[in-house]
Structure 1
Amino acid sequence: MLAISKREFIESFKGIKPIIIIAIFLITAYYSGKFSDLLLSANIDFTAEELEGIHTIAISGLLIIFGMLFVMGLSHDTMNREMHERTIRFLVTRTSRSAIIIGKFLGIWFFWIVCLVTSFMVISIFVHKFDMITLFQATSLVAYYLALTILLSVLIPKPGFTMFLSIVLGIAFPIFNSWTVFTSNPWVSWMKYLLPFYYINDRNFYFVGILLLVGVILFIAIAIFNRREC
């Protein structure tokens, strides 16, 4: 499992991908601070704590809107590519199937954690504060996106289809998730407990609920993968 995690982690850092991701985070943080006065003039209510951490909160906002698109776009074929190219047979002869799933998840998740921590550290240099709660919320949100991505990659054998699906879900997911949080329709609102936005609606430790959901999603992915012929 550790070898798989290490491989996925290193592969994720090849090229300019991490530089682009960190740059996007920092640009978002910069302009959120620059236009914070504009947000206040628009009568958007912010607490003093939120105003103080608006740079890092903006990164969470970016992940809420585009996070699924980013994560699925980069990792949509993390499992089905291996199955399509038959390289998965090499892995299953050397380790358990659950170790493959968990190893891939941890390797890619650590990549995102490094990108987020780096961004938050750079921001903290200028604002003189490290926003730990928002960092935990952001990393747990990425974990949910990634677990769902791995599940879909196990379910759908064709990488080309998951690439198309990543675009569709990347656009539809934040809209649907926001609807479940704010709607009063009882037939829909119960689904907010299965989706991540409800758990990061406030600055608290509810993000732990997201990690529990991640565990459930990975458990389902492992159960399906164990039944699949490679």
Structure 2
Amino acid sequence: MYVMGKREFLNLFKGVKSFIVIMILLVTSYYSAKFANILMSGIDLSAKEAENIHTIGLLALLFLFGQLFIAGLSHDTINRETHERTIRFLVTRTSRTSILVGKFFGIWLFWISCITISFVLISIFARKIDLFIFSQTISLVTCQIAFTILLSVLIPKPGLTMFLGVVAGLTLPILGFWLVFTSNIWVKWAKFITPFYYLEREDFTFLVIFLLAGMMLFFANFVFNRREC
């Protein structure tokens, strides 16, 4: 599991796509924090919103495009192994559960590293790191990673997961926000299975997002362990 996670973690730092995503995160964090005071003077904000204004650019980026970024880099993390038949070699050295969990933690550590650096960059201007918002951001990314891995397990073709990853990355944020604020009683219940509902609340219910991620990983592992190589 450790070797698998390490390989996934290091591989994510290679390639043009990874470089572009990292630069987008850092540039967004830098400029949104740098010009936060200008933004704050132009609109009316509550005391809480004004206090966290420096993180707004990074948060908006991850809320709207986080799933798209993660899918773009890791949509084939599992089905690439099955498509190229390398899974047959891997399962002779470790269990399928270790493969899946190792890949998850490798991807997770990559994004933790990127987000941590982004928050450190923001702290230069904000002169603090808001651990509550940082934890909320980690919970969102964790859920997005779990969803990406689930797609990669359920769909055997890497090209198809790339397409569905793009579709999900564009539609899920819109759908999630709509479910949170809709008054339609027939679909309103669905907001409880989206991370956006828990992120909108200013309490520790965002921890439920980790539970949602765990459920997706559990189901992905269940399917993965019963699939032929």
User: Which TM-score band applies after superposition, normalised by the shorter structure?
Assistant: over 0.9
Does the CA-based 8 Å contact 2:18-2:73 persist in structure 1? no
1:26 — aligned with what? Answer: 26
User: Per-residue displacement from partner, 1:102-128 (whole Å, max 9, x unpaired)?
Assistant: 110010010000000011112112221
**2 CA distance for matches of 1:19 and 1:163?**
18
Does the CA-based 8 Å contact 1:105-1:150 persist in structure 2? yes
1:2 — aligned with what? Answer: 2
**2 CA distance for matches of 1:25 and 1:169?**
20
Letter in 2 for 1:14: K
Letter in 2 for 1:121: V
**2 CA distance for matches of 1:38 and 1:129?**
19
How do residues 5-84 of structure 1 correspond to structure 2 at under 5 angstroms? 5-15=5-15, 19-33=19-33, 34=35, 37-38=38-39, 41-43=42-44, 46-84=45-83
**1 CA distance for matches of 2:113 and 2:47?**
28
Does the CA-based 8 Å contact 2:8-2:103 persist in structure 1? yes
Letter in 1 for 2:180: V
Answer yes or no: is 1:98 the counterpart of 2:73. Answer: no
Does the CA-based 8 Å contact 2:155-2:161 persist in structure 1? yes
Give, in angstroms, the shift of residue 37 of structure 1: 4.2
Does the CA-based 8 Å contact 1:56-1:131 persist in structure 2? no
Q: Secondary structure at the match of 1:173?
A: helix
**1 CA distance for matches of 2:40 and 2:68?**
26
**1 CA distance for matches of 2:98 and 2:182?**
39
**2 CA distance for matches of 1:133 and 1:10?**
28
Q: Secondary structure at the match of 1:95?
A: coil
Letter in 1 for 2:29: A
Letter in 2 for 1:9: F
The two structures have a TM-score, normalised by structure 2, of 0.92
**2 CA distance for matches of 1:204 and 1:139?**
15
User: Per-residue displacement from partner, 1:157-203 (whole Å, max 9, x unpaired)?
Assistant: 10111111111111111111111111111221111111110111133
Give, in angstroms, the shift of residue 58 of structure 1: 2.5
Letter in 1 for 2:203: N
Does the CA-based 8 Å contact 1:22-1:116 persist in structure 2? no
**2 CA distance for matches of 1:225 and 1:118?**
33
Q: Identify unmatched segments of 5+ residues in structure 1.
A: none
Superposed CA RMSD: 1.8
**1 CA distance for matches of 2:122 and 2:7?**
29
**2 CA distance for matches of 1:9 and 1:159?**
19
How do residues 47-196 of structure 1 correspond to structure 2 at under 5 angstroms? 47-196=46-195
Give, in angstroms, the shift of residue 15 of structure 1: 3.7
The two structures have a TM-score, normalised by structure 1, of 0.92
Q: Secondary structure at the match of 1:187?
A: coil
Letter in 2 for 1:63: L
**2 CA distance for matches of 1:42 and 1:54?**
11
Answer yes or no: is 1:204 the counterpart of 2:203. Answer: yes
**2 CA distance for matches of 1:23 and 1:227?**
39
Q: Structure 1 pair 184/36, CA: closer, same or farther in 2 (3 Å)?
A: farther
Q: Structure 1 pair 42/51, CA: closer, same or farther in 2 (3 Å)?
A: closer
Q: Structure 1 pair 149/228, CA: closer, same or farther in 2 (3 Å)?
A: same
